[in-house]
């Protein structure tokens, strides 16, 4: 596809009426809607501003490139607009913008469109082309300029490809090449949407290298994926590495190389400075043990905050955990249906499905911990994170394993999160400690030092510190509940139900459930025990139902991944599988957990107020007919109402409280 295929006279404004940034974006968007490029103006403008709020697309030199890639866009297109007087666009160089390129790509844009967008972006590095564009008076002149520039670029690329092929052939014959004596710098460019800045930075760095007689090889992490991937030989031969990126890239391969790490816009606007830092020996040597530190502490002014780093690591764990939650939860839900309506707990189908679901759940917290650790400390941190998460997920003595000094209750997902971060930063510390060992023992670090010491330290920390802390919490809660008795039934059901949402499987949740199920086990025919069981089940059903409600009716408050996970929570909530809400609670505990506690507590209070009893230790709403055995048919309705009211309250509080999320550019 040629550049002219993404340019059109109908998508050009040869003189903008707008005099400020807001009006300019609105004027360009109005034309996008009028020409059927955009199908949802509000959603599109929101995505444009979300991108601007991350960092301005006014790249300097009088150019701005607002862009988006999402489902509110129908066609891949570049809208060209000019402002003779210039508009204050909060550009990086502080100068007014005269040329605007509003780049749009639908969520499912194919590679041919993306390649054309990338090529157009790369051409804008040429100052001669930019000056000529400023002088154009008609759309036809704009298209003609790009066609000529594209033809020139294609010819240059063809000659470069032929030269590379000839060079490779000469090497195969054992001949030397003059280029082998040139210094080589390698690098990676990447931006959030991977449409424009990625390729502009690549082009700028390569051109600057040619001017200085330096060979520059740049890998792009754009919307098409990784292109021009660097080879191990190129990295080994390189004098240094330039990372011009706004997102995470593969870093460990650059271990031991001088490296500079900047935002992608610096690759566009300051290629000379970046190359000079490498050539003048000003770049620090990168060590894989500090990969996260180097990414989060680049010399740019746009450093992510502490929470951004924590959130990135947390989401790495959550994304790997989700399949275990969804797969295991759905199979367990099906097993409860089989148990209650297909033959009971001894049927082979129930046993098989329930065991399969439980096996997936057994991996849930260990996987969460392992991939939090891996995000922080790379691959060597995976095993300590996994073991720490496993120690947090099982009770002392379970599977003949002692995981804590004085405890009988698991630490749950909160303990697992702690294990993941501890294991990750523990490995970062070990890598730093061993950074200056002789090169002769380099191979022993990943095969001997890291796994042994990583396991030793995480096991000790979990055994003597983390798990005993949660165990102490569990003991104190259980003692408190036992001391309450059942005199004030409404207060007790309120507390029990609220506790089910505090840590969703940890000490609070387990203490409440064990208290209620213990009372039920002691006297299965007790109405009070049945009421306590109903309260904990309502409290445990509220979190998954609340997140399902939120992701269904308040889509702008949740990420695409959360909305997908939210669908399964309708089933998990119905089945009293609280763990379906764990990914939401882990990602945003400050909003999700308090909201669910309130909703669960309200549901539990209603159970106590209405004296709703369910004589079953599990099953959620699948066992609702049993409520009729305690208080008559109306109590089945009350059981549903307590769950529904608590879930709606939690879902509304959570969703109104949460901020709008930035739209996923790939959706």
pLDDT of 292 above 60: no
What is the arithmetic mean of pLDDT over 590-617? Answer: 93
pLDDT given for residue 37 in this prediction: 93
pLDDT of residue 312: 74
Q: At residue 294, does pLDDT exceed 70? A: no
b/e code 506-524 from CB counts within 10 Å (16+ = b): bbbbbbbbbbbbebbeeee
Strands 12-13 and 77-87: parallel
Count of Cβ atoms closer than 10 Å to residue 204 Cβ: 25
Q: How far apart are CA 409 and CA 506, in angstroms?
A: 8
Place of tokens 């695409």: 560
pLDDT score recorded for residue 295: 42
Contact between 160 and 217 (Cβ < 8 Å): no
pLDDT at 300: 38
Dihedral pair phi/psi, residue 437, rounded to 5°: -65, 155
Which position has the token pair 């992701």?
551
- Tens of pLDDT, residues 65-76: 898 888 889 888
| Calpha distance 331→324 (Å, rounded) | 11
pTM for the whole structure: 0.49
Dump pLDDT digits (tens) for 563-575. Answer: 888 899 999 999 8
191 in active site: yes
Closest to 263 (Cα-Cα) out of 254, 278, 273, 252 = 273
Is a pLDDT exceeding 80 seen at residue 304? Answer: no
The pLDDT assigned to 176 comes to: 60
Do the Cβ atoms of 318 and 340 come closer than 8 Å?
no
Burial of 84 (0-12, 13-18, 19+ CB in 10 A): exposed
Mean pLDDT, range 174-186, rounded to an integer? 73
Backbone angles phi, psi at 340, to 5 degrees: -85, -25
Across 500-521, average pLDDT: 79
- Which of 516, 409, 421 minimizes the C-alpha distance to 461? 421
Length of the chain: 667
H, E, C per residue of 536-558? HHHHHHHHHHHHHHHHHHCHHHC
Domain with CATH 3.40.50.2300 in the chain: 182-303
Q: Please count the CA atoms within 13 angstroms of the CA of 124 that sit on its side-chain side.
A: 31
Higher-scoring residue by pLDDT: 384, 58: 384
Structure tokens at 291: 């990969």
Number of Cα atoms under 13 Å in the Cβ half of residue 1: 18
Give the pair of three-digit tokens for residue 51: 């991108």
Q: What is the pLDDT of residue 218?
A: 93
Q: Is the pLDDT of residue 173 over 80?
A: no
**CA 503 to CA 411: how far, in whole Å?**
9
Q: Average pLDDT for residues 616-633, to the nearest whole number?
A: 84
| pLDDT higher than threshold 90 for residue 316 | no
Q: Distance between CA 304 and CA 409 in Å, rounded?
A: 37
Order across the sheet with 240-245: list the strands.
225-227, 215-222, 184-190, 240-245, 258-262, 284-285
| Residue among 52, 65, 51 at smallest CA distance from 97 | 65
Out of 104-118, 433-447, 458-472, give the one with best mean pLDDT: 458-472
For the chain, give the longest Cα–Cα distance.
93
Residue from 67, 113, 611, 635 carrying the catalytic annotation = 67
Count CB-CB contacts under 10 A for residue 56.
18
pLDDT given for residue 665 in this prediction: 40
- The mean pLDDT value for 262-275 works out to 89
Residue 266: alpha-carbon gap to chain centroid: 25
547 closest CA partner among 653, 651, 646: 651
Dist. CA 250–CA 242, nearest whole Å: 13
Give the C-alpha separation, 36 to 26, whole Å.
15
The one catalytic residue in 113, 191, 591, 618 is: 191
**pLDDT for residue 650 is more than 90:** yes
- Would you state the pLDDT for residue 647? 96
For 439-457, how does the pLDDT look when each residue is reduced to its tens digit (9 = 90+)?
A: 666 667 777 889 999 999 9
Q: Where does the pLDDT of residue 586 fall: very low under 50, low under 70, confident under 90, or very high at 90 and above?
A: confident
Query: pLDDT tens across 127-158, in order?
Result: 888 899 999 999 999 999 999 988 888 888 78
426, 465 contact by CB (below 8 A): no
State how far the Cα of 135 lies from the Cα of 150, in Å rounded to an integer. Answer: 19
pLDDT at position 306, please?
A: 61
Angstrom distance (rounded) from CA 566 to CA 5: 40
67 is catalytic: yes
Look at the domain 182-303 and name its fold. Rossmann fold (3.40.50)
For residue range 465-500, what is the model confidence (pLDDT) as tens digits? 888 888 777 777 777 777 776 667 899 999 999 999
Phi, psi of 13 (to 5 degrees): -120, 105
* Six token digits for residue 533: 């069981």
Give the pLDDT confidence score for residue 645 in this predicted structure: 97
Is the C-alpha dihedral spanning 597, 599, 600, 603 positive or negative? positive
Structural contact between residues 112 and 1, judged by C-beta atoms closer than 8 angstroms: yes
* Mean of the per-residue pLDDT values of the chain: 84
Q: Read off the tokens for 406.
A: 């004085």
Q: Say if domain 3-107+124-152 classifies as CATH 3.10.20.30.
A: no
Q: Give the closest residue to 571 by CA, choosing from 336, 324, 323.
A: 336
DSSP 659: P
8 A C-beta contact, residue 584 and residue 568: no
Which part of the chain is CATH 3.40.930.10? 3-107+124-152
User: Would you list the DSSP string of 160-171?
Assistant: HHHHHHHHHHHH
pLDDT attached to residue 575: 87
Q: How confident is the model at residue 301 (pLDDT cuts 50, 70, 90)?
A: very low
Q: Calculate ∠ Cα 457-316-362, nearest 5°.
A: 65
Percent of the chain scoring above 90 in pLDDT: 37
Is beta strand 97-106 parallel, antiparallel or unpaired with respect to 63-64? parallel
Calculate what percentage of the chain has a pLDDT beyond 70: 87
CA distance 229 to 82: 36
Confidence of residue 520 (pLDDT cuts 50, 70, 90): confident
The dihedrals phi and psi of 109, each to the nearest 5 degrees, come to -60, 135
Task: Summarize pLDDT for 387-427 with one digit per residue, the tens.
Answer: 999 988 876 555 555 555 444 567 777 788 899 999 999 99
């Amino acid at each position: 596809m040629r550049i002219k295929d993404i340019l059109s006279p109908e998508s050009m404004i040869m003189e903008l009426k707008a005099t400020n940034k807001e009006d300019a974006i609105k004027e360009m968007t109005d034309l996008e809607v009028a020409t059927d490029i955009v199908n949802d103006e509000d959603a599109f403008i929101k995505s444009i501003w979300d991108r601007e709020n991350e960092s301005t697309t006014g790249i300097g030199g009088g150019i701005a490139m607002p862009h988006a890639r999402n489902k509110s866009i129908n066609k891949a297109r570049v809208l060209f607009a000019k402002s003779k007087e210039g508009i204050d666009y909060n550009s990086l160089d502080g100068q007014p913008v005269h040329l605007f390129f509003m780049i749009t790509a639908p969520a499912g844009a194919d590679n041919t469109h993306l390649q054309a967008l990338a090529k157009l972006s790369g051409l804008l590095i040429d100052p001669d082309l930019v000056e000529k564009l400023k002088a154009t008076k008609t759309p036809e002149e704009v298209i003609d300029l790009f066609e000529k520039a594209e033809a020139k670029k294609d010819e240059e690329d063809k000659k470069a490809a032929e030269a590379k092929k000839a060079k490779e052939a000469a090497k195969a014959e054992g001949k030397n090449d003059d280029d082998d004596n040139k210094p080589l710098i390698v690098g990676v460019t990447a931006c959030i949407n991977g449409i424009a800045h990625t390729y502009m930075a690549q082009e700028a760095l390569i051109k600057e290298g040619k001017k200085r007689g330096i060979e520059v090889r740049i890998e792009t992490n754009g919307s098409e994926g990784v292109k021009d991937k660097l080879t191990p030989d190129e990295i080994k031969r390189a004098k240094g590495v330039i990372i011009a990126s706004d997102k995470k890239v593969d870093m460990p391969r650059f271990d031991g190389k001088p490296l500079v790490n900047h935002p992608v816009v610096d690759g566009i606007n300051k290629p000379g400075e970046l190359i000079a830092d490498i050539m003048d020996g000003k770049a620090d040597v990168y060590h894989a043990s500090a990969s996260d530190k180097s990414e989060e502490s680049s010399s740019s002014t746009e450093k992510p905050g502490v929470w951004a780093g924590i959130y990135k690591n947390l989401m790495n764990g959550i994304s790997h955990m989700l399949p275990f939650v969804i797969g295991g939860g759905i199979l367990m839900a099906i097993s409860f249906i089989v148990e209650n309506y297909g033959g009971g707990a001894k049927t082979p189908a129930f046993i098989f499905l329930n065991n399969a679901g439980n096996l997936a759940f057994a991996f849930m917290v260990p996987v969460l911990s392992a991939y939090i650790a891996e995000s922080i400390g790379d691959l060597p941190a995976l095993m300590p994170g996994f073991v720490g998460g496993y120690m947090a997920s099982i009770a002392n003595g379970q599977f003949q394993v002692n995981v804590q000094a004085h405890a009988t209750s698991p630490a749950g997902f909160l303990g697992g999160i702690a294990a993941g971060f501890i294991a990750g930063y523990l490995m970062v510390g070990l890598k730093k400690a061993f950074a200056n060992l002789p090169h002769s023992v380099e191979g022993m670090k990943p095969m001997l030092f890291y796994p042994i010491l990583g396991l030793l330290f995480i096991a000790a920390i979990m055994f003597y510190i983390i798990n005993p802390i949660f165990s102490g919490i569990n003991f104190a809660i259980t003692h408190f509940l036992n001391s309450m008795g059942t005199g004030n039934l409404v207060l007790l059901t309120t507390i029990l139900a609220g506790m089910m949402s505090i840590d969703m499987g940890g000490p609070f949740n387990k203490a409440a459930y064990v208290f209620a199920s213990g009372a039920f086990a002691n006297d299965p025919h007790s109405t009070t025990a049945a009421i306590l069981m109903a309260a904990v089940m309502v409290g445990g059903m509220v979190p998954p139902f609340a997140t399902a409600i939120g992701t269904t009716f308040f889509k702008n408050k949740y990420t695409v991944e959360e909305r997908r996970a939210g669908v399964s929570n309708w089933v998990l909530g119905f089945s009293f599988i609280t763990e379906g809400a764990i990914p939401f609670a882990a990602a945003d505990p400050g909003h999700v957990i308090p909201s669910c506690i309130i909703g669960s507590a309200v549901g539990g209070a209603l159970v106590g107020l209405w004296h709703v009893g369910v004589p079953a230790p599990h099953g959620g709403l699948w066992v609702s007919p049993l409520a009729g055995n305690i208080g008559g048919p109306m109590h089945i309705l009350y059981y549903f109402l307590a769950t529904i009211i608590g879930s709606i309250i939690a879902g509304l509080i959570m969703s109104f409280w949460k901020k709008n999320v930035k739209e996923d550019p790939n959706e």
